[in-house]
Amino acid sequence: MKLENAARWLAIAAAAVAAVWNTGTARAAEATPTVHIYTWSDYFDSEVLRDFEKQAGCRIEVDYFDSNEAMYAKLKAGGGGYDIITPSSYMSAIMRRQDMLLPLDHGKLPNLKHIDRNFTRHTEDAEMAYGVPYTRTVTGVGYNARRVKEEDLGSWDIFSRAAYAQRMTMLNDMRESIGAALKYLGHSINTADEGELAAAGDVISGASLLMQLKRWPSSLRPSVWAGCPLMRTPPCEVPWGSGPGRIGLFSLRRSAQ
């Protein structure tokens, strides 16, 4: 469970959810082929998609999800007909084991040769049989330097500080949350120890922490920063150079113990 380096994987057309077969015949009759994408918000630049439509002579339709679990639940319930999905690596592995993905035809993907194997060798699908890496990121803690004290930075116990109550938030993601709680307690985010996992669960569900946090969706927006000068977030969601005060990003290396 390597949360801090979780890779997003692009399960491209040949690795689409099995439900695509149910709509293939109808889709073939369309005058203009349509590529259906199910992904996170802000993953694809709209201009890039429009350019691709012109070059490939197709239409692109995009639906969005805000968590791996929401995406999985929709597809598992029979929703879909998607050609491309972008689950995180752990969810891609789950879906592959449950026969929800189709294998890739590498003969139709000549650009696979450009992928750095350092991004695949530690994954369950190192040979890219069902998906290829699209992006890799880490999560840190974004903060507004005018509203967060420098001496408070660096330890996981910052999320238990009463001084920032209702002015901080964490990602609405179960793996990120349990990982943060484990680090808060001084444990490995990869632990399989049932006692340590139970203790981390208690931290997440405990009233002392929940009372401190303000609830926001995983996909953050600049308006969130106006109310929360402290939040756990991927760097891509940090509004660099905008908003009042200096916006910074730091990693937490010390437990709260």
**pLDDT value of residue 28:** 46
Look-up of token digits 């938030």: 169
pLDDT band per the 50, 70, 90 thresholds, residue 100 = very high
Higher pLDDT, 56 or 158: 56
CATH number of 140-250: 3.40.190.10
pLDDT band per the 50, 70, 90 thresholds, residue 137 = confident
Mean pLDDT of the chain: 75
Q: Mean per-residue pLDDT for 190-213?
A: 79
Q: In what order do the strands lie in the sheet with 168-169?
A: 168-169, 230-233, 140-144, 247-250
pTM of the predicted protein model: 0.70
pLDDT in tens, 213-224: 555 554 555 555
The correct CATH number of 3-136 out of 3.40.190.10, 3.20.190.10, 3.30.200.20, 3.40.630.30 is 3.40.190.10
Most confident of 115-129, 135-149, 196-210, 217-231: 115-129
Which two tokens mark 192?
């399989």
**Residues of each domain in the chain carrying CATH 3.40.190.10:** 3-136, 140-250
pLDDT in tens, 108-130: 999 999 988 888 887 788 899 99
pLDDT band per the 50, 70, 90 thresholds, residue 36 = very high
Phi, psi of 8 (to 5 degrees): -85, 135
DSSP 148: S
Could you tell me where the beta strands, DSSP code E, fall in the chain?
A: 7-10, 34-39, 59-64, 84-85, 132-136, 140-144, 168-169, 230-233, 247-250
